[in-house]
Amino acid sequence: MPHREALRDLQTRLVNQLQEAKSAAPGRSWLAVESAGHSFLFPLTEAGEIFPMVPLMPMPHAQPWFLGVANLRGHLHGVVDLGRFLGLVSSESVREPTMLVAFSTAFEVNAALRVDRLAGLRAEADFSLDSDVDAAAPSFVGQRLRDAGGRVWQEIRLAALVRHEAFLKIVG
């Protein structure tokens, strides 16, 4: 039960920070996550609810990055391992699943991304531009940003990801 209480406290803090971020001066803000040893930023306006990992119903003939279907608050969601989808982790790699980040309900898609760890909320003032988007990068890849500690973060545009052809093709 201490694990559930700690998770509940984390979710409460994130909700409070999200409300503060929305009422603060305009600017870009992100949900920071880690997956497959890399750091990613999801635009707050595009990220939905955060869930602890739940049991999944595997789907036959699905891509290795499509982990299965989960019941999240009474709705079925397809679950995608972000690291595997991006080609950062081989299908043989075994990691302890931790968190699910659902897409905003505005997209009307029942999907969630499996990430290794939540790293909090970040604002535009926390970063400097590391590099512009590579012209060869998929449409869902945003800017690379660097924080004050020198850590590089890759923005993932969830609105573009849910429309990306490879993301929609879950059957292998």
DSSP code of 13?
A: H
| H helix runs in the chain, sequence order | 2-23, 82-85, 158-161, 165-168
Q: Is the pLDDT of residue 127 over 70?
A: yes
CA atoms within 13 A on the CB side of 126: 17
- Per-residue pLDDT at 24: 52
Taking only the tens place, the pLDDT of each residue in 39-85 is 999 999 999 999 999 999 999 999 999 999 999 999 999 999 999 99
Question: For residues 145 and 41, is the Cβ–Cβ distance under 8 A?
Answer: yes
Q: Indicate yes or no: pTM above 0.75.
A: yes
CA distances from 31 to 20, 36, 50, 117 (A): 13, 17, 10, 11
Q: Is the pLDDT of residue 1 over 90?
A: no
- Per-residue pLDDT at 97: 59
Q: Which CATH architecture has domain 2-168?
A: Beta Barrel (2.40)
Quote the mean pLDDT of the chain.
Answer: 88
111 or 96, which is more confident? 111
DSSP letter for each residue of 78-101 = EEEEHHHHTT-S-TT------EEE
- Per-residue pLDDT at 106: 94
Question: What is the Cα–Cα distance from 72 to 111, expressed in whole angstroms?
Answer: 10
How would residue 18 be classed by pLDDT, with cut points 50, 70 and 90? low
Taking only the tens place, the pLDDT of each residue in 25-52 is 468 999 999 999 999 999 999 999 999 9
Mean pLDDT of 117-136: 89
- Per-residue pLDDT at 75: 94
- Per-residue pLDDT at 94: 52
CA distances from 144 to 45, 59, 88, 169 (A): 18, 33, 16, 26
Q: Hey, where are the domains in the chain?
A: 2-168
Return the H-helix or E-strand segment holding 143.
strand 141-147
- Per-residue pLDDT at 4: 73
